[in-house]
């Protein structure tokens, strides 16, 4: 039996019913639906719109339903149209007429808009917590490897020396911006549409501010049409989550490269690697690859939401039911990724010897050699650049590095060179001298890691 049965003479067609129903995916909002209804019932009672007695009965009944769904005693009936219908029906079956009064001055349109906001608000908190945990892992590791020299790349060609800690901090910074973005999205989401009704508010003397406050929201949506039909908050969150996935995907790409035999800067724990069914030697970074792959899903969810919303007239249209699967999938995917990704990072073993070997091989101190000619010997940078280029070519010819090229060779190209050049191009020195703010010098890396750690730990302690 449908809620709207009065006007209709025929039962809804079976295929149409299945098509129309949303309970399989909105049942996860049962808690928010119930707490929203409790706030609404309390307000109706306080405003004298329904009796105190009925209001109390409704709240008691809803409390019972919540406890029973939580414990598994009450199963959500998947033949109901949606979670709102199921809970209202269950309540009425338990408490009779009082249950039928709950929906006074309310529509499923403001109800569902409220439920999603409340539900996603918790999702934001949970994901912020998970991101913070990952940032803690990264920052602690960055502190430990603040002095581990490795090549930094541009165009995936060895470029200039950095440290492994510096590299980790780069991802820490990205993820901290993600945390900030989700916090921003959460702040705009935390306004109550309850009381916007179907689209045009209500003639009952409701108190929207009371329900908003009871639900821990920062205020009420200011326009009833907008309140019921706004899904910006889903899109904003999907956008922030897409960026999380883009960051994790780039991170994964580098993990995949760096665990390959060609680099071997990192070894993943066996617990986070997989084997091959045919090649006995294989150890594959599947978790990182899946993360890179799953970024496509979340970006797809964002595109779904934007596309669903772009053409619909005010106010509520059933198209908007499509919001839930997309945003829930984005939330679930990011959650799953972080649950596997963070321990993968935590248990991986960096191999600083290999990083240093790679750093020594790629002429990544060539800029420092040119800087030596400029800074110490007073040559214009462009001349120094050209001479250093010729030095590199000479090294390649001789099969040596700048560190092992004899001083006579240096002098042959420029008589300003002396033994001092070796200290200037020493890799540790090249890194430790790069102490410009945000640079790879170990004390800079320590400082950034410490700041990221503090920001992440603050989030974790306020989550408790
Ligand atoms: N299941 C619906 C949704 O998710 C609930 C709102 C229904 N409102 C309506 N006017 N049919 O959007």
Q: Which atom of ligand 1 is nearest to the CA of 316?
A: 10
Model pLDDT for residues 161-212, shown as the tens digit of each residue: 999 999 999 999 999 999 999 999 999 999 999 999 999 999 999 999 999 9
pLDDT at 3 exceeding the cut of 90 = no
The CB of 108 under 6 Å from ligand 1? The reply is yes
Pocket test for ligand 1, best of 16, 112, 119 (most atoms within 8 A of CB): 112
Identify the CA nearest to 138 among candidates 108, 100, 165: 165
Residue-level pLDDT at 116? 98
The CB of 401 under 6 Å from ligand 1? The reply is no
Residue-level pLDDT at 207? 98
Q: Could you say which of 155, 222, 349, 461 is catalytic?
A: 155
- CB-based burial label for 8 (10 Å; 0-12, 13-18, 19+): exposed
Calpha distance 313→276 (Å, rounded): 52
Told to judge if 276 belongs to the known catalytic residues of this protein, a careful annotator would answer: yes
Model pLDDT for residues 288-297, shown as the tens digit of each residue: 999 999 999 9
Residue-level pLDDT at 387? 95
Whose CA is closest to atom 3 on ligand 1?
Answer: 321
Q: What is the mean pLDDT of residues 327-342?
A: 98
CA 359, distance to chain mean position in Å, is 32
Calpha distance 286→272 (Å, rounded): 8
- Kindly indicate the confidence band of residue 275, based on its pLDDT and cuts at 50, 70 and 90: confident
The reported pTM is 0.94
- Give me the count of residues in the chain: 464
**Mean pLDDT for all residues in the chain:** 96
- Kindly indicate the confidence band of residue 1, based on its pLDDT and cuts at 50, 70 and 90: low
Percent of the chain scored above 90 by pLDDT? 93
Residue-level pLDDT at 280? 81
């Amino acid at each position: 039996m449908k809620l709207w049965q009065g006007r209709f003479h025929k039962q809804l067609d079976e295929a149409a019913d299945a098509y129309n129903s949303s309970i399989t995916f909105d049942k996860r909002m049962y808690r928010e639906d119930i707490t929203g209804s409790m706030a609404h019932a309390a307000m109706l009672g306080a405003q004298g719109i329904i009796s105190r007695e009925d209001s109390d009965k409704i709240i008691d009944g809803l409390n019972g339903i919540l406890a029973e769904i939580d414990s598994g005693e009450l199963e959500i009936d998947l033949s109901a149209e949606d979670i709102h219908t199921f809970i209202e029906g269950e309540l009425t079956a338990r408490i009779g007429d009082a249950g039928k009064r709950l929906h006074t001055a309310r529509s499923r349109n403001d109800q569902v808009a409220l439920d999603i906001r409340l539900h996603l608000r918790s999702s934001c908190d949970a994901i912020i917590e998970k991101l913070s945990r990952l940032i803690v892992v990264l920052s602690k590791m960055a502190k430990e490897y603040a002095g581990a020299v490795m090549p930094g790349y541009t165009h995936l060609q060895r470029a200039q020396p950095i440290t492994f800690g510096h590299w980790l901090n780069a991802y820490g910074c990205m993820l901290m911006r993600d945390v900030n973005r989700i916090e921003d999205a959460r702040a705009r989401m935390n306004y109550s549409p309850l009381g916007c009704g179907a689209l045009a508010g209500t003639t009952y003397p409701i108190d929207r501010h009371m329900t908003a406050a009871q639900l821990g929201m920062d205020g009420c949506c200011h326009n009833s049409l907008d309140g019921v039909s706004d899904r910006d908050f889903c899109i904003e969150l999907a956008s922030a989550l897409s960026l999380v996935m883009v960051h994790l995907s780039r991170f994964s790409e580098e993990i995949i490269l760096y665990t390959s035999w060609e680099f071997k800067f990192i070894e993943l724990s066996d617990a986070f690697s997989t084997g091959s069914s045919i090649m006995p030697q294989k150890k594959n970074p599947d978790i990182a690859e899946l993360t890179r792959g799953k970024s496509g899903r979340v970006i797809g969810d964002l595109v779904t939401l934007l596309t669903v919303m772009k053409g619909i007239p005010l106010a509520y249209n059933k198209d908007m039911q499509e919001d839930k699967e997309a945003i829930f999938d984005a939330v679930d995917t990011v959650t799953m990724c972080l649950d596997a990704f963070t321990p993968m990072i935590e248990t991986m073993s960096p191999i600083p010897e290999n990083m240093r070997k790679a750093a020594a091989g790629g002429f990544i101190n060539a800029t420092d050699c040119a800087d030596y000619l400029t800074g110490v010997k007073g040559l214009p940078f462009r001349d120094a650049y050209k001479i250093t280029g010729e030095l590199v070519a000479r090294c390649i010819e001789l099969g040596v590095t700048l560190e092992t090229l004899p001083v006579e060779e240096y002098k042959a190209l420029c008589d300003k060179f002396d033994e001092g050049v070796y200290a200037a191009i020493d890799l540790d020195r090249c890194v430790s001298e790069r102490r410009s703010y945000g640079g790879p010098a170990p004390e800079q890396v320590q400082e950034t890691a410490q700041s990221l750690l503090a920001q992440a730990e603050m989030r974790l302690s306020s989550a408790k």
